[in-house]
Amino acid sequence: MDCEILQQIQRYMEPETFATGPDDIALDAIKEVGNSGHFFGIQHTQDRYTTAFYQPFLSDWKNFEGWEAAGAVWTPERAHHMFKEIIGSFEPPPMDPGIRQELSEFVERRKAEGGAPTDF
C-alpha cells in the first residue's frame, strides 16, 4: 500500500500534472465542446485520457456497488494477495555462479566477524 501512495505522489509531481501551457489549459477544447457537447467527443481528450490520471495497481476505485459486486475485497487483503503472488513468482536473477559463491562467502564471513545483524 505504501508503494502505491509513493507512486501517486510521484505521479502528481510530474510536470504534466501542473502544466499551464495553452494546450494544457485547453481553452480551445473547452470552446470546441461548448455548453452542449462532451469532452470525450473531441481529439484533445482522446489524445490524453489514457495517461491523464494515475492508474492504481492496488486500490479499487470502483463505486461501492461495483466494489461489492467484485467481492468487497479490502485493500489490505488485496495487498497481501499481491505480496503472496510476487513472492511465489520470484525467480533469482541470472548471476555467474562464481559471483554467487563469492557473495555467499562474503555474507558468511561478515556474520562470523559480527557484522550488522540480519534476519536471514
CA distance 33 to 31: 6
Tens of pLDDT along 51-97? 888 889 899 989 999 999 999 999 999 999 999 999 999 998 999 99
CA distance 55 to 91: 27
CA distance 52 to 70: 25
Look-up of cell digits 510476487: 86
Assessment of whether the complete model's pTM goes beyond 0.85: no
Nearest CA to 52 among 22, 18, 27? 18
Radius of gyration of the chain (CA): 24
